[in-house]
Structure 1
Amino acid sequence: MGILLKTIVKRFLLVLIALMACVRGGVALAETPSDQSFSPDPKIQKIAEAYSLDAVDFSAKQFGIKLDWSDASIANVEKALAQMSSSYVSTSPKPTDEQVMSFAKAYGSYVGEVYRRNHGGEWGMVTLGGSRFPGLRTTSGSSFWPWGRVFNRITKGTEDNIADYYAALLKR
């Protein structure tokens, strides 16, 4: 493996570890507290764009749900995640965090991309409370991290409804 590829893989794994720490803490949206910072990162943007396409494909094939990049399509994301959450709850043994995170990255990236494409913003790294993880900064300066919220939606249920989350983002 080339040095550049090793560096990219290492950085991605560090990001994933930080995200998992953040998800376990339950954070998913911030009003830009004083201990939060944001660094734009075009690499995160490219990763999110690719993952979001996975959500579009998976939704069509697995659930017969069309995702069209509109704000209204977030309701369809919630339908898909509700089915995933129901499966998660009824499955024993539970899928690993890594398995759930693969879906959280895809659907969280889709949610972030819908927001970015329709309302502006940029992907990058959010630093909050000593942890760093992928997220978006809105044009108003707020940050959010949809991967964490989708992970929570799948594992914790309707209290982390994605349609409600997205509606709250639009009010910021």
Structure 2
Amino acid sequence: MTEPTPNEIMAAYAANAVNFAQSNFGISLDFTVESVELVEALANRLFHTRPKGFIAKLFRKEPSDKDVQNVCKMLGSYIGEVYRQNKGGEWQINHDHQAIGLLEGETWIFPLAKVLKRITNGKKDDLNLYFAEILE
């Protein structure tokens, strides 16, 4: 049995994102560039479910760090796969950043880290703007 490649692993996470969006939010993701807007809308909803500040955290159950990591993996992989279908690139481990990213030519992009920033920081890390920038 051969080990799955990073491309296969990330494609599987992206497929999980499609199922997650459909079953939890009724959102249909179809791997088009336009569908990144739906991922942004979903990330915005997730951002607003995270309590802001210590007192809020005491009184509201928030998604666990593991839940957040899983969502970031799925949605980040999805954005990366949309990018790969449009521009190419290969998923690889970047040892400098200790993270998985997409390497296209000489350029690294880290969509999983970007989704985490979006869910943590809100609109200033807008995924539509990010995707438009990396597509250029």
TM, length-normalised to structure 2: 0.86
Q: 1:105: which partner in 2?
A: 73
Q: Higher RCO, 1 or 2 (CA under 8 Å, sep at least 6)?
A: 1
Measure how far apart 1:93 and its partner are: 4.4
Q: Is the 8 A contact 1:89 1:155 kept in 2?
A: no
Q: 1:52: which partner in 2?
A: 14
Alignment-mate amino acid for residue 116 of structure 1: R
Q: Distance in 2 between matches of 1:133 and 1:95?
A: 22
Amino-acid identity (%): 34
Instruction: Check if 1:132 corresponds to 2:98.
Output: yes
| SS of 1:66 mapped into structure 2 | coil
Q: Deviations over 1:65-99 (max 9, x none)?
A: 11111111100110111111111136634433222
Q: Is the 8 A contact 1:44 1:123 kept in 2?
A: yes
Q: 1:87 aligns with which of 37, 45, 49?
A: 49
Q: Distance in 2 between matches of 1:63 and 1:99?
A: 16
Q: 1:145 aligns with which of 95, 110, 113?
A: 110
Q: Distance in 2 between matches of 1:147 and 1:163?
A: 14
Measure how far apart 1:49 and its partner are: 0.7
Q: Distance in 2 between matches of 1:137 and 1:168?
A: 15
Measure how far apart 1:45 and its partner are: 1.3
Q: Which runs of 5+ in 1 are unaligned?
A: 9-41
| SS of 2:101 mapped into structure 1 | strand
Q: 1:75: which partner in 2?
A: 37
Q: Distance in 2 between matches of 1:48 and 1:117?
A: 13
Instruction: Check if 1:163 corresponds to 2:131.
Output: no
Alignment-mate amino acid for residue 97 of structure 1: D
Q: 2:64 aligns with which of 96, 101, 106?
A: 96
Q: Deviations over 1:115-154 (max 9, x none)?
A: 00111111001133xx421000124x21011111111111
Question: What CA RMSD, in Å, does the superposition of the two structures yield over aligned residues?
Answer: 1.9
Q: Distance in 2 between matches of 1:80 and 1:99?
A: 15
Measure how far apart 1:43 and its partner are: 2.3
Q: Distance in 2 between matches of 1:121 and 1:89?
A: 36
TM, length-normalised to structure 1: 0.69
